Amino acid sequence: MTEVEIEVEPSEAGFDAKRLHRLGDHLDKYVDEGHLPGVNVLVSREGKIVYRHMYGQRDMERALPVEADTIYRFYSMTKPITSVAIMQLYERGVFQLKDPISNWIPSFAESQVFVGGDAENPQTREASRAISIHDLLTHTSGLTYFFHMAHVVDEMYRRAGFDWTKSPGDLESQCDILASLPLLFDPGTEWNYSYSTDVLGRLIEVMSGLSLDAYFKRNIFEPLGMVDTGFSVPSEKRERFASCYYPNGEAKQAALLDDAQRSRYLHEPPAFSGGGGLVSTLADYHLFTQALRNGGSLDGQRIVGRKTLDFMTSNHLPGGVDLTEYGRPLFSETAYDGVGFGLGFSVVIDPAKAKVLSQKGEYAWGGAASTAFWIDPVEDLTVIFLTQLLPSSTHPIRPEMKTLVYQALE
């Protein structure tokens, strides 16, 4: 029996059971009011599961319920896995964090910064320095995302073929295209949520000699027993796959966006996205989070060193500032006030400034379809929430969940 299979009464782990059930009751309202298709949540403390709750449907069109082994699009919850994977190579002495990424992807050798003009005729200048691996891990590279809709460079990404349903070629081709487009700012000078983690995925391929899916499988999924995680859904697991929805109209009623039985995730993608390509289950991702909660290992299988993980989950923004002070006020999968950023994780640095009941030192991330997790090393607490509604900014579920979990601690 592994640690994650152990379940105990909430009171045995310091929770008030009645108060903890407020969490499920609150999430169920989103389903009953038609805002979410279904919910799947897990709370564990000291490595023991104290609360599990499933409600609603994974496929509203076929009236299929949420089940323990439902497969979800994890989108940006892929990023922490990619970040751990690249740091495995760091631990083997393959690179230093200050190294320019052009050592492995030569097309990034002459990065330019946007200074004016439009998408057809941009004006640029040479970047003040090369993009480093640390810049990618901390999203301070100067790269961006096509969906920000806030800058000329975002538009240039869309014109280059980046969108939700397709990408311009394989991962190598994508990185070469990204390298040809101007940066928003000089590397290391600001924080901006971006394709940085996808570029990390390509670095993993070049450094290891393996495709990203093969590297993940050999070095993370198989050691931890993550049997349902990958970049596509195999035919024999298709019935377990959830459909994805979007908020339709002013009432924000969940409407079909991506049919589980016709989804592109049923086929291997042209590029393995380290920034957002994985599908997985609650059980599998819990294995990953428990390895993190344990300091990098689970059941004798170590995926990353304890000191490395401590380093990754500390705030790496210069001067210890938060994202409000260092980041552009654009969408990301975390709040900005009182939250810093490490190597692949958001990190709570000031709960009072965040104005959310939380714990200093919490590290976390979320996905575009409203999935989320956080780990609290102080309270030895792990929470995972899964649903399928895109975008994640539709409802304030993440801060609400923090309140509902922490208010139940005795």
d(CA 179, CA 168): 13
Cα end-to-end distance, the chain, whole Å: 28
Q: What is the pLDDT of residue 331?
A: 84
Q: Do 344 and 316 contact (CB within 8 A), yes or no?
A: no
Polymer length of the chain: 410
Q: What is the pLDDT of residue 149?
A: 87
Residue by residue, what is the 3-state secondary structure of the chain? CCHHHCECCHHHHCECHHHHHHHHHHHHHHHHCCCCCEEEEEEEECCEEEEEEEEEEEECCCCEECCCCCEEECHHHHHHHHHHHHHHHHHCCCCCCCCEHHHCCHHHCCCEEEEEECCCCEEEEECCCCCEHHHHHHCCCCCCCHHHCCCHHHHHHHHCCCCCCCCCCCHHHHHHHHHHCCECCCCCCCECCCCHHHHHHHHHHHHHCCCHHHHHHHHHHHHHCCCCCECCCCHHHHHHECCEEEEECCCCEEEEEECCCCCHHHCCCCCCCCCCCCEECHHHHHHHHHHHHCCCEECCEECCCHHHHHHHCCCCCHHHCCHHHHECCCCCCCCCCCEEECCCCEEECCHHHHCCCCCCCCEEEECCCCCEEEEECCCCEEEEEECCECCCCCCCHHHHHHHHHHCCEC
- Enter the pTM of the model: 0.96
pLDDT tens for the chain, residues 1 to 410: 334 455 899 999 999 999 999 999 999 999 999 999 999 999 999 999 999 999 999 999 999 999 999 999 999 999 999 999 999 999 999 999 999 999 999 999 999 999 999 999 999 999 999 999 999 999 999 999 999 988 999 999 999 999 877 778 899 999 999 999 999 999 999 999 999 999 999 999 999 999 999 999 999 999 999 999 999 999 999 999 999 999 999 999 999 999 999 999 999 999 999 999 999 999 999 999 999 999 999 999 999 999 999 999 999 999 999 999 999 888 899 989 999 999 999 999 999 999 999 999 999 999 999 999 999 999 999 999 999 999 999 999 999 999 999 999 99
d(CA 269, CA 281): 19
Q: Do 91 and 151 contact (CB within 8 A), yes or no?
A: no
Token pair of 182 as six digits: 């101007």
List, for residues 334-362, the tens digit of each pLDDT value. Answer: 989 999 999 999 999 999 999 999 999 99
List, for residues 45-80, the tens digit of each pLDDT value. Answer: 999 999 999 999 999 999 999 999 999 999 999 999
d(CA 2, CA 154): 45
Find where tokens 């929470």 sit.
383
Find where tokens 């991506």 sit.
258
Pairing assessment for the beta strands 38-45 and 339-341 based on DSSP bridges: unpaired
d(CA 204, CA 64): 38
Q: What is the dihedral of CA 138, 140, 141, 145, to 10 degrees?
A: 90
d(CA 386, CA 282): 7
Q: What is the pLDDT of residue 342?
A: 98
Return mean pLDDT, the chain: 96
Q: What is the pLDDT of residue 6?
A: 57
